[in-house]
Chain A
Amino acid sequence: MADSNISVQGYINHHLSDLTIGEGFWAVNVGSLGWSIILGTIFIISFAWVGRRATAGVPGKFQCFVEMIVEFVSKNVKETFHVKDKLIAPIALTIFMWIFLMNLMKLVPVDWFPVVAGFFGVMFYTPGLPEYAADYSFLEQIMAHKWSYMKIAPTTDVNITLGLALGVFILILGYSIYYKGLGGFAKELSFTPFNHWSLIPFNLVLELVTLLAKPISLGLRLFGNLYAGEVIFLLIALVGLAQLPLHFVWAVFHILVIVLQAFIFMMLTIVYLSMAAEKH
């Protein structure tokens, strides 16, 4: 983005903020949440479509691809999660594919969707244009339009990653209670690591911190990796023509990060849930 009217700071801020509806806590990041739901829907519809038409005979190419992913997830689940459970594998598959797709959106050049969304905003939704931008040039109006703030890589939004982590946290609690019973779970929190009644408060503090640290680290790890990558994409986008090779190199590197982070999130979810399900 070489437009001199937009400062470096403004450009980065523009890209890092999202199109929101509502105020305060009840605001919703329309870009992140909308794209996250769109991508999740793409995932389940395409996979369910394969599932409906799945044949045990010679599979088609897309079925092969889907089966490769399913078997990859299935293998990891079997290696890590030793209790028999019907829910764990679908959870792992959903998390892996969904996060993978959400991460994948980062490979779309950072300015494409804001410009397209802003363009449609200026053309069809004039209330979205701030009053101060009334006498801006067309391009500046596009970038000033509310819609151009739309964010398409949901995992660079901490709300999205923590939302996923919250889901995992609820699953951890659910699995703990389902497999150990409420009493067993409470006992585990109170009597590890020190098995003595006088140390129950100390144990509780330790265990609760451990329990809470799991989802928070899970969410922040994904967010941190992807957000940092996004910031670097933005910085690269600021350096003029030299961005072309740099962007290419960083994007190639990011192919690795995208898959790796989705895989790490999935594996840690499986590990946490297996820890919750297994008796110690």
Chain B
Amino acid sequence: MDINATLLGQSIAMAVFVWFTLKFVWPPINAAIEERQKKIADGLAATDRAEKDLHLAQDKAKEYLREAKEQASAIIEQARKRESKMIDEAVAKASAEREQILEQARAEVEADRSRLREELRKQVASLAVAGAERILQREIDDAAHSDILEKLVQEL
């Protein structure tokens, strides 16, 4: 087999093919590959970030939950305190009222008693006067002895 012009033809064809590859084959394919590599890298980074965010959010949620529990127990505690306070107040008020009512009743009773006593005294006096009148009707003048009777009534 001889060396002939095929050799030159092949070299020229090679130059043409290399040029074509340089212009139309390599750049778009390589660009696509690099773009995809970038996309994948970005995606992985985003995944990492999302995972971090998730952890953060979980921590925050735990924090919130803990705070909420604390607040709830504080509120319950406060409610309980207020409840007992209200009960105490009601009890105090009720007992005060009771005292007052009792006092009033006592005063009324006292007033009644003194009035009744007065009345009784008067009746006793008049009874005594009537009795004495009957006894002494004959001998004592009503008008002459009324001052003695008055004194008597006073002493009762």
Contact = CB atoms under 8 A, between A and B. Distances in A.
A158 B5 contact: no
B17 A55 contact: no
B3 interface: yes
- In this complex, the member of B5, B6, B15, B27 whose beta carbon has the largest number of chain A beta carbons within 10 angstroms is B6
Contacts of B25: 44, 47-48, 51, 90, 93-94
A48 B13 CA distance: 17
Contacts, number: 140
A36 B13 contact: yes
B21 interface: yes
A267 interface: no
Given A52-B28, A86-B22, A163 B7 contact: yes
Contact of A158 (B3, B22, B32): B3
Interface string B53-86: 0000000000000000000000000000000000
B19 to A, nearest CB: 9
A240 interface: no
Nearest to B23: A90
B21 A167 contact: no
B1 A33 contact: no
Contacts of A37: 13
Contact of A159 (B7, B24, B30, B36): B7
Contacts of A158: 1, 3
A48 B39 contact: no
B33 interface: yes
Q: Report the interface size class on chain A.
A: 35 or more
B15 A167 contact: yes
Interface of B: 1-11, 13-15, 17-18, 20-22, 24-33, 35-36, 39
28 contacts: A17-B1, A22-B5, A26-B4, A28-B6, A28-B9, A29-B4, A54-B29, A56-B36, A59-B32, A67-B29, A70-B33, A74-B30, A89-B26, A90-B25, A91-B22, A93-B25, A98-B17, A159-B7, A160-B7, A162-B3, A163-B7, A163-B8, A163-B10, A164-B14, A166-B8, A166-B10, A167-B14, A167-B15
Interface of A: 16-18, 20, 22, 24-29, 32-33, 36-37, 40, 43-44, 47-48, 50-52, 54-57, 59, 63, 66-67, 70-71, 74, 86-87, 89-91, 93-94, 98, 154, 157-160, 162-164, 166-167, 170
